[in-house]
Amino acid sequence: MQEAPLIAFAHVGKSFDGGRVRAVDDVTLDVAEGEFLAIVGGSGSGKTTLLRLANRLIDADSGSIAIAGEDVRAVDPVSLRRRIGYVFQSGGLFPHMSVADNVGITPTLIGTSAAEISSRVDELLDLVRLERAQFRDRLPHELSGGQRQRVGVARALAARPRIVLMDEPFGALDPLTRDALGDDYRALHNTLGLTTVMITHDMTEAILLADRVAVMRAGILLAQGKPSELSDSDDPYVGELLRTPRRQAERLNVLLPRNGAA
């Protein structure tokens, strides 16, 4: 028997500018508990809007969204957002607040005691592999881009959410940092038993990290499936998105033969 999805978008629509921009157009998409889903699409395809609808930063015009079987419109948006971790593209850290205060912001809002927050912050810094003593008191501008995103992940996990939504979390990082963070986050997803929806414009990153990939274009969900299933899609845009990783794989196979010295 199929288990009920943890996140279920059903015929969701959202327009802006009095209906002139159809940002999300009749999207139906299920995310299973424990799944890592990547949403891939070009700029303006509706990815961020879809994510913001899930934790009610904005409300849908049509259709419905359910989290653990419960319609999000029936849930208080503030408590909903505390149950769902959110990682922003730029890190979204408060610039005048220390790393510890940024990471502890949600527990502080919930009224957790200072001592408890302090030990939770240490635990979270360990989790995202930032040396406690070195990083606790730093301000965001004293961090590298990768370290800022690690703090953003720690903050998203602070209230022990089951669901984490990530909006192009590693997009602005250099390839090596990005690769390391992606792998580290995927390991956290597995150990903590999270359900993750990650937006990326990079199909290679999506294929390497996610269990399933959803492709968006002009607000429409064009295709979804495991990488091998996407590969069977006859949609020309999906084919176009897959061309780059395929070509990279072929060239790397030639340039870095498996039986080489390294």
Ligand X SMILES: Nc1ncnc2c1ncn2[C@@H]1O[C@H](COP(=O)(O)OP(=O)(O)O)[C@@H](O)[C@H]1O
Q: Identify the CA nearest to 124 among candidates 97, 85, 90, 92.
A: 85
Q: Where are the beta strands (DSSP E) in the chain?
A: 7-16, 21-31, 36-40, 62-67, 70-71, 84-87, 163-167, 195-200, 212-217, 220-225
Binding site for Mg ion (CB under 5 A): 48
Q: Give the pair of three-digit tokens for residue 241.
A: 């998105």
Contact partner at residue 21 from Mg ion, ligand X, none, CB < 5 to 8 Å by partner kind: ligand X
Q: Is 43 in the site for ligand X (CB under 6 A)?
A: yes
Nearer to ligand X, 17 or 234 (CB): 17
Residues 143-172 that bind ligand X (CB under 6 A): none
**Residue 98 within binding range of ligand X, rule CB under 6 A:** no
Q: How far is CA 57 from the centre of its chain?
A: 15
Contact predicate 115/107, CB 8 Å? no
By CB under 6 A, tell whether 20 contacts ligand X.
no
Residues 49-88, one symbol each (x = binds ligand X by CB under 6 A, - = not), give x---------------------------------------
Instruction: Dig out the tokens for 32 from the structure.
Output: 């299973």
Minimum CB distance to Mg ion smaller for 48 or for 106:
48
Give the interface segment with ligand X, choosing from 5-13, 29-37, 39-47, 179-187 (CB under 6 A).
Answer: 39-47
Residue from 12, 31, 35, 46 that binds ligand X (CB under 6 A)? 46
- DSSP class of residue 84 equals E
For position 45 contacting ligand X by CB under 6 A, the verdict is yes
Which of the stretches 29-37, 38-46, 124-132, 184-192 binds ligand X when contact is defined by CB under 6 A?
Answer: 38-46
Alpha carbon distance 133, 122 (integer Å): 9
